[in-house]
C-alpha cells in the first residue's frame, strides 16, 4: 500500500510540474497583449524555459544517485515555488524570461528523478503501468488545472495564477518531507529478484552505453516527446483560440477533454506493455515496438488537426496525439535504466537533457514559421504541424529499427563475467536496489 501512496505523491508533483509548463501557454494572450510580444518573441519565452533545463536534468539526476531521489524532489519543489511566486514581480519580457529560466532549471531533473524514485518501489513487471500512471499525472496537469487556471487568469490576472501554482508546490513540499520515505528499505517491491550490491561505476563502463544505437535513438524518441510538449503548452492554446475560433473557456475544455482521452489510452496500453514483458521478458517486444509505433501514430494525428473543425474530432485527435507522444516517455526510459542500475538516474537524466534541446529550438522554429505567415496564421500553424509530423514519424521508424536493449544488456555485461569474480545474471532486467541479482562464481 505504501508504494501507491508514494506514487500518488509523485503523480501530484507531475500535475504541478506540467501545470507550471502549461501556465505560460494558458496566459499567452493576455501576456502578449500586455507586453506587446510577437509570435517570434513568444517563441523565445517558450524556449527560455529550456535554456538551463538540460543542466538541471544532468546535475539533478546525478545528484539524486548520491543523496537520494526524495531529497532532490523536495529541492525541486522549492525551486518551483520561488520561480512561480516570482511572477508577482514581473513587469516586462526580461522578468518573464528570468522566472521561466529558473523554473526550467528546477524542473529539469524531475522526470528522470521521479522515474527512478518509482523504480525503487515497483518491480520491472509493474513499472510500465506505474510510470504511465505518473505520466498521466503530467497530462492531468492540463486536464484538471487548465479550466481552473483560465478562471484565475480571467478573474485575477496571470500573475496570481503563477503565484497560485507556487503556493501549491510549497504545500506539496511540506507534505512530501513529512509523510514519505526515500525507499521501501525492508519492504521489497514484490519482486522475485534479490538485492544488489552497490558499486562505483567508471566512465569507461558508461561510454559504450551512451554511444550505443539503443541509447541514441531512445534520446531521439524523448526529443520528439519534448517537441510535442513544447508545442502543446506554448502554442496549442493560441492555435485553438486564434485559428480555430474557440473562446478561452472552450479552449480549456478541449484541452481538458483531450487529456482524459490521453489518460485512458496511456494506462490501457502501458498495462498491455507490462503484460507482454511479464510473459516474454523481452524489452524490445514489450517497450520498443509499442513506443515506436505510438509516436508514428502521433505524427499522423498532428498532421490532420488543420483539417478538423468539429470540437469533438479535435478533442479525439489531440487525445490520440497526446497518448502517442507521451507513451514513449512512460516506456522508453526503462530500456536504458536497466543497463547500469547504479547510474540509472544519470543515464535517464542525460537522455532527457538531450531531449530538452527540443525545448530550446522547437519554440523558436515554430514561432518563426508562424510569424512568417502572420497574415495567415492557419497556414503558418499547418506548416509547423506538418514539420512536427515528419520528425515524429522519422524518429519512430529509427527507434524501432535500431533500439535493441536486450542485446545491449548482454553485450555490456558479458565482459564482467570474464573479467570479474562477480557474475551478473544475463536475464536481469530490473534496476531497483531491491531487485538486482549478483552471484559470486567460485
pLDDT tens-digit profile of 9-37? 999 998 898 889 888 888 988 999 999 98
d(CA 123, CA 69): 17
d(CA 380, CA 373): 5
Is pLDDT of 325 > 60? yes
d(CA 291, CA 259): 19
Supply the DSSP symbol for 47: H
d(CA 284, CA 315): 31
Domains of the chain: 2-182+197-440 (1.20.1250.20)
d(CA 72, CA 176): 11
Q: Is the distance from CB of 293 to CB of 396 less than 8 angstroms?
A: yes
pLDDT at 423: 41
Q: Is the distance from CB of 34 to CB of 88 less than 8 angstroms?
A: no
Tell me the pLDDT tens digit for each residue of 115-173. 889 888 888 778 778 887 887 766 666 567 778 888 999 999 999 999 999 999 999 99
Query: Which of 230, 222, 195 lies closest to 348 in space, CA to CA?
Result: 222
For the chain, percent of residues with pLDDT exceeding 90? 42
State the pTM of this model. Answer: 0.70
For the chain, percent of residues with pLDDT exceeding 70? 86
Maximal C-alpha separation, the chain: 75
Letter string b/e over residues 23-36, b meaning 16 or more CB atoms within 10 A of that residue's CB: bbbbbbbbbbebbe
User: Distance of CA 16 to CAs 3, 238, 399, Å?
Assistant: 20, 21, 30
Q: Which helix (H) or strand (E) holds 440?
A: strand 438-440
User: Distance of CA 83 to CAs 100, 117, 258, 360, Å?
Assistant: 7, 24, 28, 19
Residues making up the chain, counted from first to last: 442
Residue 212, all three cell numbers: 550505443
pLDDT at 434: 39
pLDDT at 199: 55
User: Distance of CA 268 to CAs 156, 246, 280, 323, 385, Å?
Assistant: 39, 30, 19, 10, 27
Q: Is the distance from CB of 159 to CB of 90 less than 8 angstroms?
A: yes
10 in helix, strand or coil? helix
Within a 10 A sphere around the Cβ of 207, how many other Cβ atoms?
A: 10
pLDDT at 123: 82
Q: How far does the chain reach from its first CA to its final CA, in angstroms?
A: 40
Amino acid at each position: 500500500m505504501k508504494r501507491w501512496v508514494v506514487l500518488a505523491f509523485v503523480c501530484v508533483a507531475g500535475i504541478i510540474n506540467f501545470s507550471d509548463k502549461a501556465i505560460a501557454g494558458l496566459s499567452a494572450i493576455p501576456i502578449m497583449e500586455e507586453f506587446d510580444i510577437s509570435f517570434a518573441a513568444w517563441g523565445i519565452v517558450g524556449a527560455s524555459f529550456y535554456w538551463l533545463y538540460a543542466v538541471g536534468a544532468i546535475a539533478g539526476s546525478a545528484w539524486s544517485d548520491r543523496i537520494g531521489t526524495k531529497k532532490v524532489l523536495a529541492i525541486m519543489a522549492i525551486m518551483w515555488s520561488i520561480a512561480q511566486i516570482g511572477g508577482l514581480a514581473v513587469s516586462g519580457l526580461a522578468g518573464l524570461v528570468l522566472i521561466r529560466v529558473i523554473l526550467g532549471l528546477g524542473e529539469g531533473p524531475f522526470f528522470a528523478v521521479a522515474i527512478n524514485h518509482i523504480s525503487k518501489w515497483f518491480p520491472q513487471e509493474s513499472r510500465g503501468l506505474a510510470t504511465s500512471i505518473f505520466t498521466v499525472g503530467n497530462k492531468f496537469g492540463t486536464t484538471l488545472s487548465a479550466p481552473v487556471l483560465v478562471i484565475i487568469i480571467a478573474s485575477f490576472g496571470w500573475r496570481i495564477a503563477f503565484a497560485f501554482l507556487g503556493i501549491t508546490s510549497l504545500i506539496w513540499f511540506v507534505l512530501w518531507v513529512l509523510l514519505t520515505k526515500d525507499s521501501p528499505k525492508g519492504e521489497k517491491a514484490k519482486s522475485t529478484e534479490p538485492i544488489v550490491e552497490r558499486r562505483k561505476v567508471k566512465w569507461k563502463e558508461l561510454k559504450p552505453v551512451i554511444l550505443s544505437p539503443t541509447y541514441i535513438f531512445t534520446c531521439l524518441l524523448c526529443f520528439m516527446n519534448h517537441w510535442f510538449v513544447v508545442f502543446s503548452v506554448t502554442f496549442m492554446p493560441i492555435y485553438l483560440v486564434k485559428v480555430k475560433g474557440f473562446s478561452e473557456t472552450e479552449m480549456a475544455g478541449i484541452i481538458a477533454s483531450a487529456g482524459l482521452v490521453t489518460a485512458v489510452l496511456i494506462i490501457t496500453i502501458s498495462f498491455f506493455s507490462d503484460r507482454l514483458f511479464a510473459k516474454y521478458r523481452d524489452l524490445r517486444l514489450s517497450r520498443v515496438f509499442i513506443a515506436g509505433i505510438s509516436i508514428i501514430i502521433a505524427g499522423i494525428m498532428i498532421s490532420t488537426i488543420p483539417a478538423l473543425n468539429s470540437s469533438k474530432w479535435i478533442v479525439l485527435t489531440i487525445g490520440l496525439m497526446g497518448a502517442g507522444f507521451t507513451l514513449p516517455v512512460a516506456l522508453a526510459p526503462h530500456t536504458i535504466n536497466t543497463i547500469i542500475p547504479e547510474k540509472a538516474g544519470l543515464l535517464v537524466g542525460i537522455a532527457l537533457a538531450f531531449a530538452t534541446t527540443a525545448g530550446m529550438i522547437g519554440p523558436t522554429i515554430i514561432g518563426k514559421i508562424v510569424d512568417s505567415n502572420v497574415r495567415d496564421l492557419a497556414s503558418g500553424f499547418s506548416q509547423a504541424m506538418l514539420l512536427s509530423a515528419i520528425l515524429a514519424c522519422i524518429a519512430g521508424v529509427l527507434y524501432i529499427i535500431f533500439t535493441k536493449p536486450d542485446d545491449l544488456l548482454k553485450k555490456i555485461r558479458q565482459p564482467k563475467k570474464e573479467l570479474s569474480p562477480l557474475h551478473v545474471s544475463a536475464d536481469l532486467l530490473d534496476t531497483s536496489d531491491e531487485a538486482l541479482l549478483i552471484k559470486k562464481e567460485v
